[in-house]
Structures are given as structure tokens and as C-alpha cells.
């Protein structure tokens, strides 16, 4: 039987590539734009599936793939995909948000604790030898007694909410629609911020959420409020955040993502009220392997092929 043709537009582990090649005729999308255009002009009409990571999927790329049936993305976010255009074509769109939710939620809670208890500066306090001279370190804040607002109650947001409930936090959320959950809902992000001590961002990046957290939201959160972003950098107006910090209009922030990453403004790097990590929300060996497995399995399932999972090391 002729193997379905797959476009590989993702940097995936070698074992994942081997599995895909055992199931499909794999065409790798060149990084050079002219070479990519040449490949698509010659063979685009044969491609029925796509393994995706960061490549931009827009109307132009979709137009070169007239028989595309499925896109399987090695990611939680789909901000690089023109989702309405994909849906209009009836193309199946898979991502891995459900696969990495546990580890991203753990990252969010870890960042929240590091931020509110000031763990990073406390570590430096001990290592620099200040403890014997200065005595007791300053008090932190307790998330068990905090009102926590979650912006975007999808799979990851709900997983975070369950963890916060175990801590004893009072959780509310904002999103485009009310969810069938027993949590207070705000239809305005400014209102949620005003009712929160800690705001955690988990929403996807879209035109509606670009710079969603702006000066108004930060002012509503207030000088005792904290911000955690494990969503996408441009969800936060970075310059508004820098201005709020400079004016002491916010207590601090923990950021795993940045507006122009990997570039981080010096104003953020030099501010000790911030906890900064290099986009590692889902960066565990276990999560990344399961994500890669999901890419292969979803493609195999769509085409009625046997998954190679039993042969995996």
C-alpha cells in the first residue's frame, strides 16, 4: 500500500522522525523560503498530513496544499496557525495542550511560589553570607490566603485551578465564555484583576489577547498584586509592565515568556522583584516525549495506520 505523504515542518527528536518515516512518505520543509516554495510547487498536491511546530501556517501555505487533511502540532499554542482558515478547509487540527497541561501547571505554581515567597532573592541572601549579619529574612506572602485570577480557563488553566484549590486559594477566572465549572467568572479582565491578589495568564495568543494585560489591568491588580505569565509573551504589554514596576504599581511578576523572546529588556532582567525563566513551561523529558508521541499517534490514527508505540524504547 502506498504510504500517505507527510510534510515535516517541525524540529522533532530523531526517534520521532524515524517513526514518521516508517508510516509516511516524509517531505521535510526546507528552512530557505525559495527552497520551500519550490518543494511545495512540485509536491504540495501530494501532501495529506503535516507535522508542525513553529512554522507559520497561513492562507498562502494552505493554498499550496490542496489535499491536506490533518495538521498535528508539537505545541500547546496555535498562534502560528491561521485557525479560521484551517477550519474553513475542514482540516483536522491537533495540538498537545492536554499532554503538557500537568507540567505547565506545575511550572505556574512553582513560579507563583517563587514569586510570592521571594525564593530567588532568599537563595542569594544565604549564598552571599548575609544571613549571619542581617538575621531573619523578610516575610513573604501566602498563596493559600490569596485571591487568584486565571486568565483563560482551558485545559492548562483548569489544571492550575485544581492545584490552587489544594493550596486553599480562592480562584476566579476570565475568558470569552463562561465554563461549566463551579468557579466565580468575570467577563472583564480588568474586573478580575481588581478582584485578585495574583493573576495567572494561561490564555492562547490571538488578536483578541494581544496586549490583553495592559496598564489598565496592571493598575487594577494594584501595588500589592502579582502577575504570572506562562501563556505567550505578547499577551502582556511589556512596556506597560516595565512602567508599572518603575512606579511601584505592581508588587512583582514571574515570566516564563516574553514579548520578543529570547530578547529580554534590561529593565526586566535588572529588577529583583521578578522571577524570569526561558520559556520552560513544558520542558520536562516526560512531557516532551509524550508530546512527540502524540504527534505521531494522531497522524497514524487519522490515516488508519498502526501506531509504532509498542516498539518505542
Active site residues: 232, 261, 279
Cell of 188: 472583564
- Are 277 and 29 in contact, with CB atoms under 8 Å apart? no
Contacts 24+ apart (CB under 8 A), 285-289: 286/103, 287/99, 287/100, 287/102, 287/103, 288/13, 289/13
Task: State how far the Cα of 98 lies from the Cα of 101, in Å rounded to an integer.
Answer: 5
- At residue 309, φ and ψ (nearest 5 deg) are -55, -40
Task: Quote the CA–CA distance of 75 and 100 in Å, as a whole number.
Answer: 9
Contacts of 166 (CB under 8 A, 6+ apart): none
Q: Say if CB 149 and CB 195 are below 8 A apart.
A: yes
Cell matching residue 232: 505567550
Where is 9: in which H helix or E strand?
strand 5-9
Amino acid at each position: 500500500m502506498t504510504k500517505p505523504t507527510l510534510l515535516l515542518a517541525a524540529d522533532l527528536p530523531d526517534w520521532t522522525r524515524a517513526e514518521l518515516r516508517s508510516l509516511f512518505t516524509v517531505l521535510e520543509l526546507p528552512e530557505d523560503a525559495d527552497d520551500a516554495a519550490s518543494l511545495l510547487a512540485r509536491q504540495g498536491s501530494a501532501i495529506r498530513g503535516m507535522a508542525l511546530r513553529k512554522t507559520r501556517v497561513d492562507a498562502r501555505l494552505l493554498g499550496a496544499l490542496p489535499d491536506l487533511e490533518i495538521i498535528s502540532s508539537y505545541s500547546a499554542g496555535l498562534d502560528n496557525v491561521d485557525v479560521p482558515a484551517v477550519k474553513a478547509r475542514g482540516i483536522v487540527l491537533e495540538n498537545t495542550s492536554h499532554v503538557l497541561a500537568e507540567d505547565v501547571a506545575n511550572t505556574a505554581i512553582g513560579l507563583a511560589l517563587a514569586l510570592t515567597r521571594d525564593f530567588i532573592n532568599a537563595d542569594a541572601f544565604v549564598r552571599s553570607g548575609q544571613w549571619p549579619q542581617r538575621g531573619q529574612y523578610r516575610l513573604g506572602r501566602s498563596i493559600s490566603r490569596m485571591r487568584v485570577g486565571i486568565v483563560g480557563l482551558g485545559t492548562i488553566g483548569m489544571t492550575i485551578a485544581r492545584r490552587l484549590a489544594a493550596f486553599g486559594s480562592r480562584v476566579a477566572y476570565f475568558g470569552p465564555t463562561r465554563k461549566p465549572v463551579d468557579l466565580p467568572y468575570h467577563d472583564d479582565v480588568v474586573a478580575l484583576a481588581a478582584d485578585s491578589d495574583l493573576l495567572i495568564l494561561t490564555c492562547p495568543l490571538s488578536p483578541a489577547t494581544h496586549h490583553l494585560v495592559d496598564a489598565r489591568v496592571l493598575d487594577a491588580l494594584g501595588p500589592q498584586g502579582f502577575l504570572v505569565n506562562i501563556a505567550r509573551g505578547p499577551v502582556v504589554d511589556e512596556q506597560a509592565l516595565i512602567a508599572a514596576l518603575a512606579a511601584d504599581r505592581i508588587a512583582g511578576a514571574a515570566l516564563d515568556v516574553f514579548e520578543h523572546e529570547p530578547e529580554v529588556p534590561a529593565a526586566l532582567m535588572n529588577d529583583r522583584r521578578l522571577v524570569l525563566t526561558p520559556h520552560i513551561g513544558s520542558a520536562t523529558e516526560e512531557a516532551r516525549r509524550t508530546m512527540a508521541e502524540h504527534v505521531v499517534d494522531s497522524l497514524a490514527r487519522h490515516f488508519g495506520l498502526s501506531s509504532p508505540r509498542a516498539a518505542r524504547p
